[in-house]
Structure formats: C-alpha cells, structure tokens
Amino acid sequence: MSSPAEQYVVFFSFGPTAKIALSDTACCCVFPNIETDKYVVLPKLSLFMQIKLVNTSTNPLPSYETLSAAGMDLRADLTQAMLLKPMQRALIPTGLFIELPIGYEAQVRPRSGLALKHGITVLNTPGTIDADYRGEIKVILINLSEKAFEIQHGDRIAQMIISKHEKAEWIQVDTLSDTTRGSGGFGHTGY
C-alpha cells in the first residue's frame, strides 16, 4: 500500500492522530494504525454537493479542472461543426440536463481564454439555470471579433458555477435610509 502522501494531494489535521486527505474529487479520513504502523484509509466521502444529471452527449461530464476551481467547463454537443460569424450569436446545445436543489442556481459564464483569444463570450452572462428547470442546458454564444470562429463537437464553450441564493421579500416603504453614496451611480466615483 502506498503512503497517504502519495495517494492524495492535500492533508489537513483532524484531531491528534487523524488527517483529512483531499484529492480533486473526494476526501477520505486517514488514521494511523498504531499496532501495524500502517495507515487505515476509510472510504472516500464526497466534498461536493451531489446533483442529478442526464448526459445525452458523448462528452465527459462537467468537472473541475483544479482543486480550487469554481467553474466546470461546458462542452458543445454538435452533430457537425458550426461557424460563428462576426457579431453572430447562436444557441449551442450541451446535451446536459440537471436537477438542482431548491435554493441553488447554476450560472453559465464565459471562458476567459475564448473571450481574450477569439472574442467569443456568453451573451446573457451570467445565464441563470433555476432549480426547477429540467430542459437541456444551452449556451448563447456571440462572436465579438472580426473573424469567423468554428465550434466543434466537444469544444469547451462556457463554464458553469453552482451557487446558493437567497429569496427576498419586498417591504414597500415611502423613504430609504441615507448613505454617503446616495443615488450616485454609473461612474460617479470616477473612471
């Protein structure tokens, strides 16, 4: 058996003898066995909320590329390549359907590399996927560059963030409290 340091990426102390070992997708508790001088590794426990997902595409499931990544890449689910002309927008299917818990949303955001290198962005950013939506996740892309851009099946086209949100209840009043800023907006503090 390899040592826990070889199996996992990060360790956190958990009491005087136990450690929590983190990998990119899960964690486990690692306890030293004093009698055998070996480690006892308990089954992996998920660090992440579990979300039901149907994938009708041939693409891999969305995943975090690094341990600290906030977004998961969404990939195009196309039967043939699509050419996005300058200033053209298109609705790109992903083949993904999700069931979020109440109180959460999924936000669809641009990928910074596509925006910087090719001028490709998500038009309604961030796009919101509500917890009660059961349709296919589709991404509205726009080409803001001067060159046509080809999208192939499996291309990473956007990223998705899962985010908790609050519900608000409005209280109608006649006046609001004063602040230093007041009604200043739209660059009132300078450019």
Write out pLDDT tens, residues 7-28: 434 444 444 444 444 444 444 4
Amino acid of residue 98: I
CB 128 within 8 A of CB 165: no
Contact between residue 100 and residue 119 where contact means Cβ atoms under 8 Å apart: no
Pick out the chain residues at pLDDT < 70: 1-47, 188, 190-191
% of the chain exceeding 70 in pLDDT:
73
SS3 32: strand
Q: Give the pLDDT of residue 183.
A: 82
User: What would you measure as the largest C-alpha separation in the chain, in angstroms?
Assistant: 73
Question: What 8-state DSSP symbol labels residue 45?
Answer: B
**Residue 28 in contact with residue 47, Cβ under 8 Å?**
no
Distance CA(132)–CA(105), nearest Å, equals 9
Q: Kindly report the pTM of this predicted structure.
A: 0.72
Digit-coded pLDDT (tens) for 56-74:
999 999 988 887 889 999 9
What's the pLDDT score for residue 188?
Answer: 67
User: What are the structural domains of the chain?
Assistant: 4-41 (no CATH), 52-164 (2.70.40.10)
User: Is the separation of the CB atoms in 96 and 137 below 8 Å?
Assistant: yes
The first and second tokens of residue 90, run together, are: 């298109």
pLDDT digits (tens, 9 = 90+) for 147-156: 999 999 999 9
